[in-house]
Structure 1
């Protein structure tokens, strides 16, 4: 045989067609790639591996050479390989190998020569295709696996790990699909803590691809490596879990180190689908056992601090977002951490692509060793400088650079700009914002720290319940864009309420119909002008996702009408004022020498906290102008691509990255279609941080972070997005998946707020304290566990939400 295919087991292959007995050694990684090498090593050692074969790198190299692509750049390789011609001899051997498997369905998986190495796993960098049932599907999948060698994520990952692209090639593994009842991963050491005395297993019912890709959260099981005692929910059963653990230990012993295994269980048998070294394993903690137990209790008692990230990315960012700001921001954050001497993982291990154009963020594991101390003195002045950022100086810099640039580009005649000039303008916008961002983020933590210290000082002076109320009151009445927007919306609502004709229009028409109705009368036209002014002042705000791929508020005036329509139910549609003044007066009247001595300190701390919190809201809005204005420029470019036949809709440009805009038309259309499908598949249950990293959320229990104190009993109203704003009724408990400042006018109507994501420092928490209503953030599961019409007790002092049988709706006053 000419070497285009090699059977994994060396069985069912005529003797004269075998190569080296069908069991390649380590030197053969150049022939069958990392995944192929791992699987052949497993079969050679007698472990259970599904029947299959490897299409060698010789096939890849011959096909590429025949097409004249040997010296092509990554973009051309990526564009040409999915449709490249495969010679008859290679096609025949692939189809012969496929036929010999006699399988109902097969999996086709990439096996690059730079993959599953000791220093880098390359996990998720290359493509796999499951449940294929025809020879043509197998051939197409082989081509797509070859193309995945040259995706931007794979090229960037190799560059960061110093892999040599000059000899790079792709082998492909074809295996019989296991009709799995359970599947998952098994680590023979704890990949989080680094403890070598633990085995960690995760399992899902059915195929394991959703678990491996990060789109599903499975059953999590810990085992003691010595006793194999099981902790957790062993979905496939304790006996199967122990058998898996024993199998994992045998693999670890065979290959001489901690292993990362993929497995499937079907009809009473365990199959191994992949084995590779467990890379980037941190040093084992000295007091691992006790710290592990303590860590488990902590995760159960409070949500992860990363939960707040979901407020900004409740949906997957688009590929254009990834290129323009998501990757650059994360790269800058990792670089800043590394500049102190600490160790960080490469970007592609933090921003992980789980499907084509769909990513999740894996919170980075920060390494620390004695050498890190050497970087601290050099980095300390820079860190201190960022933390000492003056908010007035930042505002002045923004007023001189970002704001005039955004306003100029927002009114520029785009017809006069070339495609390249449009992209240059977009780059200028994000570059300007990027230069402002580090000091902006440096200015915010001081405010949060000042508020925390002040709260700690208050507690022993006035007692815990009163300290919680005073803290909320002293942080109320902030002068910031969010508060001003809500106040202006309240004024619009009063205008409608005071005019019978306008009030009738809002009661009779749906929000998307109101523009036409209002345009028919003078009072209606005057109101529309006021709405236009509101959108001019606050319309850059994102609706859900901070993105260039979806409209901001200014493109959706019906959302303003929805907010007005909802607020019309409230008698007093403005947050109570002067709470902070009253709280300061109360604190000033508090007797006692210690209180008197600390009063100036508390005043300064709360002044700092208020200043930095208001600054955070204002600067956040200014930075939100960037994707909103960039969207205007990109949509013009999208319209031009529609005219050229490259796109079906101008909005589809969001599914491309800037270096993909010049691809051939058919390739562009195929790429957009594939990424649209991947995005739609990812939306249900999506979290930018994988759910299993956010801490546990027990079924039937809703618990989160106290964000605004007090308690409230009321009826649940689940609101999923801005189209449902008008469904909230006065006094109901607003339950929602995420919030941003656009949602906060609803807080004037709600009796309490419960949110799946976010934390005590989120926009929602700030405005909940403004209105003096209880708020619980970061529950993860409130929108799943709670349903419309349920009566619940929101205890925002404890961070819990429980169902109750009372027929009354009551609130304990908080700062009213």
Structure 2
């Protein structure tokens, strides 16, 4: 018998209501549009998510039925409720939206559609921003999604919450970082029948961490949110493009998300299901075949969310894969024709290359080349003062934005007559220490003055960027001149003295007990973790939810995080990157990724300031006994300067990260004034950008240049990776580097590609990665040993490994390519070698 239900006081059969809905649809203002009437070009109407769902529906792809409440409905809502987003801050906008009333015309359409689905229909309510899931940027996850909504009152409430989420901290921060104009972004809402999935997950039609011709599937039980949110460790299936399974990794799958009475709930997966494959061979074949159809339809690799329910496959979402980091895998020798070949780097050249790669782990964009390149350039400037031309150590770049390996050839100039006086200056340690501290103070004051300059038009913004470029160079020059170069000379003498005490000691053992930004940040992070871990509910909140949700649910955490990020928020993922870096204050979810391993493993900080100082003084006493009073006086003075150099080094590092953060802020302003996306400006060289800012507009020639370099970007990335692999080629399969921290450790390999994978590392694992920076410090308390592709004895990984007392092998070059997760290895930090066991 056909179901009946009460609607506006009348008892109406389902078929009658559906007919009524369709008849009235023609007379409505049409705030609601069915998927079948939407295509991928309708982003301004349906938002990115809605446009994609409509496109796939029209293409015959199995998408659960649904409609889009258009962006025009959002604009109507804002207008009817008198919400002026141009004159209000985000907090005020969110509050006004949640307190507003949905106009009756919108209410009627939404309610009519919902009731047409049948009594108690379960629907998903998904935000769909008009700047979402675009070809060049993914806004996915920046607004809210609500699942298992099962009555019309709740549906209307969730629509308001979706509107509000457009102005959430996470979404506003993301748009700001990407250079999108807040006033140009609107929100549509997808209302879609829920699929009660038996299993679900995501599929990438190009493996973003390997061969782009491979397909990667993640799958788990229940709803796909468990996989997307990172709640579970899913199964991973690596497949060929014809569906053949190349590798299966069974995930733990301890929990799954299912429907609750309202919304969803997390339940435990039965033990017998955890150790078996979620997907059958047939389901994998079906999924791969359908994903290939979707890729062909869109014409490029796709990130697809899917679900199986009662044996049928449903596609829940598809978006472009916005990362191009692996596109070089598809390039062959023919693509690199005309570009110079690279010889294998050996000895000191190899060490120099790998040390530099810690700061430049990927190909620069043209604008990054000119700004971040100011850092490395200062080494050449300093050496030229001593009569040594080392400009060949800088990375050349051509008109297409393709960067070449430096030659590292050395030439002498007429200034060589000054080399002895230059070395004498570098050895004047008391004077260098004093001048270094004065120079750092000078840089901070100058930076503060620049921050007060106006940026109301392109001319002013461009001028500020010019000043910042010089400011970055000046900060780096002082860092090399008064810290790094003198420190190298001091370290030679101190190493010799310390070997008399114990062969395992190096000059870095003399840095205990110091207070500077890196150690202070680390200690405060551990103190914060200790406070959070005292309350199980608060700890669970931080471990399982994103930053915006965490601070929205706990004001105490919000206040604590605000204080911490105000102090250390400039810390970024690439120490020497300028525009593509992300600092904690710009992307606070990265900050949580650093905090979580500490909470999860209950670590203690490496040493307190007091413990570090005691260890340092004990070493001084041992050195004094062996050296005698006279020799120790010289060593003690040198040690004081050496410690000062390290503070200057770390403080200047953080200062230029703060300077880069300000550059990104000004570039965002430039993009807004020039009416373009900030990412487009990455493809300009600094002088080109400055000229455009003086002119005040982007010409068609400028846009052609940007398009040309954007098209060449996959080649630039591919050639960069080819150069690195050719230069670091290790044909005999040996894994050899340099000693970063002495000792030995055995354990299973865990390859970590970035903060998003920090949760992979388990106590006792051998951490293997391409590079590290202060974001990675919390992992050193978990790992038994460290293997790093890049770096040197002065690198972050070396210093922190020594502080934690774990062995480290650095400058390996290709460990992340040669080793596999789970392999057991011996890390010999003393010899700088890695062995399979």
Q: Secondary structure at the match of 1:757?
A: coil
Q: Secondary structure at the match of 1:467?
A: coil
| 1:451 counterpart = 2:518 | no
1:539 aligns with 569
Q: Provide, for residues 673-732 of structure 1, a one-character-per-residue CA deviation record: whole Å limited to 9, x for no partner.
A: 3323433344358469855555x5345321111111111112221111222223222232
1:562 aligns with 593
| 1:753 counterpart = 2:786 | yes
Q: Secondary structure at the match of 1:308?
A: helix
Residue from 472, 494, 506 that aligns with 2:542: 506
| 1:496 counterpart = 2:532 | yes
Q: Are 2:427 and 2:489, in contact at CA under 8 Å, matched by a contact in 1?
A: no
2:444 aligns with 403
Alignment map for 1:172-571 (pairs within 5 Å): 207=333, 210=336, 213=339, 298=347, 303-326=350-373, 328=374, 333-342=379-388, 350-353=394-397, 356-368=400-412, 375-378=415-418, 380-381=420-421, 384-385=424-425, 388=428, 390-400=432-442, 402-407=443-448, 414=455, 417-443=456-482, 444-459=484-499, 461-462=500-501, 466-469=502-505, 473-509=509-545, 513-520=546-553, 524-544=554-574, 546-571=577-602
How much does 1:554 deviate?
Answer: 1.7
Q: Are 1:641 and 1:650, in contact at CA under 8 Å, matched by a contact in 2?
A: no
1:16 aligns with none
CA distance in 2, matches of 1:580, 1:534: 24
Q: Secondary structure at the match of 1:713?
A: strand
CA distance in 2, matches of 1:390, 1:634: 35
Aligned residues: 495
How much does 1:341 deviate?
Answer: 4.4
How much does 1:329 deviate?
Answer: 5.3
Q: Provide, for residues 340-380 of structure 1, a one-character-per-residue CA deviation record: whole Å limited to 9, x for no partner.
A: 445566x7x95322671131341431134xxx5x6333455
How much does 1:313 deviate?
Answer: 1.1
Q: Secondary structure at the match of 1:770?
A: helix
Q: Are 1:735 and 1:755, in contact at CA under 8 Å, matched by a contact in 2?
A: yes
The verdict on how the C-alpha distance between 1:753 and 1:745 changes in structure 2, with shifts beyond 3 A counting, is same
CA distance in 1, matches of 2:512, 2:718: 36
1:113 aligns with none
Q: Are 2:578 and 2:663, in contact at CA under 8 Å, matched by a contact in 1?
A: no
Q: Provide, for residues 88-127 of structure 1, a one-character-per-residue CA deviation record: whole Å limited to 9, x for no partner.
A: xxxxxxxxxxxxxxxxxxxxxxxxxxxxxxxxxxxxxxxx
Q: Are 1:387 and 1:445, in contact at CA under 8 Å, matched by a contact in 2?
A: no
Q: Are 2:476 and 2:652, in contact at CA under 8 Å, matched by a contact in 1?
A: no
CA distance in 1, matches of 2:473, 2:767: 35
Q: Secondary structure at the match of 2:825?
A: strand
Give unmatched runs, 5+ long, in structure 2.
1-330
How much does 1:768 deviate?
Answer: 1.4
CA distance in 2, matches of 1:211, 1:752: 41
Q: Provide, for residues 236-259 of structure 1, a one-character-per-residue CA deviation record: whole Å limited to 9, x for no partner.
A: xxxxxxxxxxxxxxxxxxxxxxxx
CA distance in 2, matches of 1:343, 1:585: 43
How much does 1:637 deviate?
Answer: 0.6
With structure 1 as the length reference, what TM-score do the two structures score?
A: 0.55
Q: Are 1:352 and 1:360, in contact at CA under 8 Å, matched by a contact in 2?
A: yes
Alignment map for 1:659-698 (pairs within 5 Å): 659-661=687-689, 662=692, 665-683=699-717, 686=720, 690-693=724-727, 697-698=730-731
CA distance in 1, matches of 2:436, 2:370: 26
Q: Secondary structure at the match of 1:457?
A: helix
CA distance in 2, matches of 1:679, 1:487: 40
CA distance in 1, matches of 2:422, 2:722: 30
Q: Secondary structure at the match of 2:679?
A: helix
Q: Are 1:505 and 1:514, in contact at CA under 8 Å, matched by a contact in 2?
A: no
Q: Are 1:704 and 1:777, in contact at CA under 8 Å, matched by a contact in 2?
A: yes
CA distance in 1, matches of 2:620, 2:797: 26
Q: Secondary structure at the match of 1:717?
A: strand
CA distance in 2, matches of 1:431, 1:387: 27
CA distance in 2, matches of 1:640, 1:591: 63
With structure 2 as the length reference, what TM-score do the two structures score?
A: 0.54
The verdict on how the C-alpha distance between 1:363 and 1:709 changes in structure 2, with shifts beyond 3 A counting, is same
Q: Secondary structure at the match of 1:529?
A: helix
CA distance in 1, matches of 2:334, 2:806: 43
Give unmatched runs, 5+ long, in structure 1.
1-204, 221-294, 805-816
| 1:609 counterpart = 2:637 | no
Q: Are 1:734 and 1:754, in contact at CA under 8 Å, matched by a contact in 2?
A: yes
CA distance in 1, matches of 2:390, 2:449: 39
2:603 aligns with 572
Q: Are 1:701 and 1:785, in contact at CA under 8 Å, matched by a contact in 2?
A: no
How much does 1:447 deviate?
Answer: 1.8
| 1:735 counterpart = 2:768 | yes
2:103 aligns with none
The verdict on how the C-alpha distance between 1:687 and 1:597 changes in structure 2, with shifts beyond 3 A counting, is farther
The verdict on how the C-alpha distance between 1:380 and 1:353 changes in structure 2, with shifts beyond 3 A counting, is same
CA distance in 2, matches of 1:799, 1:308: 15
Alignment map for 1:578-593 (pairs within 5 Å): 578-579=611-612, 581-582=614-615, 584-585=617-618, 588=621
CA distance in 1, matches of 2:627, 2:807: 30
How much does 1:737 deviate?
Answer: 0.5
CA distance in 1, matches of 2:370, 2:506: 44
Q: Are 1:386 and 1:439, in contact at CA under 8 Å, matched by a contact in 2?
A: no
Q: Secondary structure at the match of 2:786?
A: strand
